[in-house]
Amino acid sequence: MGDVKRKFATILATDCVGFSKHMLEDEQATFESLNACREIIDSLIEQHGGRIFHTAGDSVLADFESPIETVNCAIKFQEAIQERNETISDEDPRRKLLWRIGIHSDDVIFEKDNVYGNGVNIAARLEAQCAPGQILVSRAINEQVASRIEAISRAAGTKKLKNISSEFEVFTISTDKTNNLESADISEEQEEADRTQKPTLSILPFKNLNENEDSSFLIDGVYEDILTELSMVRQLSIVSRQSSVNFADSDKELDDFIAQFKVNYLIQGSIRSSGSKVRVTVSLLEADTKEIVWSKRFDRNLDDIFEVQDEIVRSVTQAILGEIELASLNRAKRKPTQNMSSYEFLLRGKEGHHAIDKEANAHALEMFDKAIEADPANAQAYAWKACTMGQALGRGWIEKSLEEVMPEFNKLMDHALKADPNDFELHRLLCGISTMTGKFKAAVEHGKKAYDMVPNDPRILQQYGEILLKTGKTKQGCDLTLLALEYDPVAQGQTNSDKRKSDAVFGCLMDDRVELGLELAEEIEACSENILLFAAALSVAKHGSLEPCPWLIKDLKTCNFEGLEAAIEEMGRYDVVVQSTLREVFLDHVAKLQPKLQLVS
* Stretch among 182-191, 204-213, 416-425, 519-528 having the lowest mean pLDDT: 182-191
Closest to 477 measured CA to CA, from 507, 498, 445: 507
Name the band, by pLDDT with cuts 50, 70 and 90, for residue 326. Answer: low
* Burial classification of residue 385, based on how many CB atoms lie within 10 Å of its CB (0-12 exposed, 13-18 middle, 19 or more buried): buried
Per-residue pLDDT reduced to its tens digit, 527-563 = 999 999 999 999 999 999 999 999 999 999 999 888 8
Give the mean pLDDT of 305-324. 69
pLDDT at 469: 95
Per-residue pLDDT reduced to its tens digit, 411-469 = 888 888 888 787 787 888 889 888 988 889 999 999 999 888 888 778 889 999 999 99
Radius of gyration of the chain (CA): 28
Q: 263: how many CB neighbours lie within 10 A of its CB?
A: 24
Give the mean pLDDT of 246-271. 82
Give the mean pLDDT of 131-147. 85
* Burial classification of residue 427, based on how many CB atoms lie within 10 Å of its CB (0-12 exposed, 13-18 middle, 19 or more buried): buried
What angle separates helix 498-510 from helix 458-470, to the nearest 10 degrees?
30
pLDDT at 335: 53
What angle separates helix 342-355 from helix 305-333, to the nearest 10 degrees?
100
SS3 580: helix
Per-residue pLDDT reduced to its tens digit, 342-371 = 878 888 888 888 888 899 999 999 999 988
pLDDT at 492: 66
Q: Are strands 4-16 and 59-64 parallel, antiparallel or unpaired?
A: antiparallel
Name the band, by pLDDT with cuts 50, 70 and 90, for residue 184. Answer: very low
Highest mean pLDDT among 29-33, 305-309, 317-321: 29-33
Question: How many Å apart are CA 234 and CA 330, to the nearest integer?
Answer: 20
* Stretch among 23-32, 335-344, 394-403, 434-443 having the lowest mean pLDDT: 335-344
More confident residue, 542 or 5: 542
Give the mean pLDDT of 109-126. 81
What percentage of the chain reaches a pLDDT higher than 90?
A: 31
Give the mean pLDDT of 8-21. 87
Give the mean pLDDT of 111-139. 84
What angle separates helix 440-453 from helix 458-470, to the nearest 10 degrees?
150
Give the mean pLDDT of 457-485. 92
Q: Kindly tell me the sign of the dihedral angle through the C-alpha atoms of 508, 509, 511, 513.
A: positive
More confident residue, 467 or 120: 467
* Stretch among 112-126, 216-230, 267-281, 457-471 having the lowest mean pLDDT: 216-230
List C-alpha distances in Å: 194 to 118, 191, 531: 34, 6, 50
What angle separates helix 424-436 from helix 379-394, to the nearest 10 degrees?
20
What average pLDDT is seen over the chain?
Answer: 82
Question: How many Å apart are CA 272 and CA 215, to the nearest integer?
Answer: 8
Residue 92 has pLDDT above 70, yes or no: yes
pLDDT at 596: 60
pLDDT at 76: 92
Is there a contact between 312 and 299 (Cβ–Cβ < 8 Å)?
Answer: no
pLDDT at 191: 41
Write down the number of H helices and E strands in the chain.
Answer: 25, 14
List C-alpha distances in Å: 207 to 59, 321, 383, 566: 22, 22, 40, 56
List C-alpha distances in Å: 66 to 11, 44, 106, 262, 283: 10, 14, 12, 43, 41
Highest mean pLDDT among 22-36, 118-132, 552-566: 552-566
Is there a contact between 532 and 552 (Cβ–Cβ < 8 Å)?
Answer: yes
pLDDT at 274: 78
Residue 331 has pLDDT above 70, yes or no: no
More confident residue, 112 or 565: 565
> Which H or E run contains 407?
helix 402-419
Residue 325 has pLDDT above 70, yes or no: no
Which domains occur in the chain, in start order?
1-186 (3.30.70.1230), 187-334 (3.40.50.10070)
What percentage of the chain reaches a pLDDT higher than 70?
A: 82
